[in-house]
């Protein structure tokens, strides 16, 4: 078995100007990292799990409910966070009724941020910063625009978030578990870059691996593995069954290069991390 530090070092062979990665293990924190881990990268859609986490925090605080109406007629915050509202990628005209199709939507997350902002009485970026980023010590992380895709942060920032997903302290355990629970499990739809999936399971702001093929996570990973990837060449995933999570940030846009290198890399990361756990 290739040692975990050597697995992470393979990102140096990727066709990208810069890449950094880290692996987090439940109960041990960050166990390996590689590359410019303190550099802030554009997160693109890896912003969405952060937005969802702040929304769940607002729900815990009683400012709103996930089942409050939001977006198109018949839609709720839950629909929006699960890409089940019917809204398109961009725009406000629905392509389907709520709960009928899994339609990936940036616009839906922007609606979510507006609703949360109104409920808590402050700009969404400030609420995210004060409620999630600061408590986790995500020092270089910030939202610089759209709550769907304009987050910035470093590998060390996102590793802190992965640690939270493995061992929640900002949210109650039940809320963190709800994040990764499949919502509207029968829905089918597209995974951007990986084609039509039937079914196409999603949680709240995170994609759930399920039995999807092809996929950007590794084929050996648990069906319950969840996370997100971004158009800027970024991804984060958590396998709670194994107690392992990984974050990788690059500065080259997602394309065929990523679809080729990410699955075997993620398989190798999980295998090496689990092997290390057996030794400890």
Q: What is the pLDDT of residues 158-197, one digit of tens each?
A: 999 999 999 999 999 999 999 999 999 999 999 999 999 9
CATH code given to domain 4-279: 3.40.710.10
pLDDT higher than 70, residue 280: no
Query: For 176-185, what is each residue's pLDDT tens digit?
Result: 999 999 999 9
Q: Where are the domains of the chain?
A: 4-279
Q: Which of 219, 263, 221, 228 is nearest to 243 (CA)?
A: 221
pTM: 0.98
Q: Would you place residue 1 in the very low, low, confident or very high pLDDT band (cuts 50, 70, 90)?
A: confident
User: How crowded is the C-beta side of 239, counted as CA atoms within 13 Å?
Assistant: 22
Q: What confidence tens digit (pLDDT) does each residue in 80-139 have?
A: 999 999 999 999 999 999 999 999 999 999 999 999 999 999 999 999 999 999 999 999
Note whether 208 and 183 are within 8 A (CB): no
């Amino acid at each position: 078995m290739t040692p975990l530090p050597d697995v992470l070092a393979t990102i140096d062979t990727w066709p990208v100007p810069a890449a950094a990665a880290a692996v987090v293990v439940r109960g041990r924190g960050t166990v390996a990292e590689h590359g410019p881990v303190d550099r802030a990268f554009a997160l693109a859609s890896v912003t969405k799990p952060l937005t969802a986490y702040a929304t769940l925090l607002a729900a815990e605080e009683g400012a709103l409910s996930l089942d409050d109406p939001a977006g198109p007629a018949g839609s709720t915050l839950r629909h929006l966070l699960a890409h089940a509202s019917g809204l398109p990628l961009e725009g406000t005209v629905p392509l389907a009724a709520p709960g009928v199709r899994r339609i990936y939507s940036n616009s839906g997350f922007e609606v979510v941020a507006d609703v949360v902002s109104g409920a808590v009485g402050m700009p969404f970026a400030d609420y995210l910063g004060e409620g999630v980023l600061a408590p986790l010590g995500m020092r270089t992380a910030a939202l610089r625009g759209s709550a769907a895709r304009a987050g910035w942060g470093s590998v060390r920032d996102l590793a802190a978030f992965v640690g939270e997903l493995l061992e929640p302290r900002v949210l109650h355990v039940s809320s963190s578990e709800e994040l990764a629970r499949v919502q509207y499990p029968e829905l089918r739809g597209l995974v951007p870059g990986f084609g039509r999936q039937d079914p196409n399971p999603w949680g709240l702001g995170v994609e759930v691996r399920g039995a999807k093929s092809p996929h950007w996570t590794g084929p050996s990973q648990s069906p319950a593995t969840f996370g997100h990837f971004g158009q800027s060449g970024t991804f984060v995933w958590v396998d709670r069954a194994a107690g392992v999570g990984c974050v990788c940030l690059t500065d080259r846009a997602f394309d065929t290069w990523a679809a080729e290198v990410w699955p075997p890399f993620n398989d190798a990361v999980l295998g090496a991390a689990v092997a290390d756990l057996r030794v400890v």
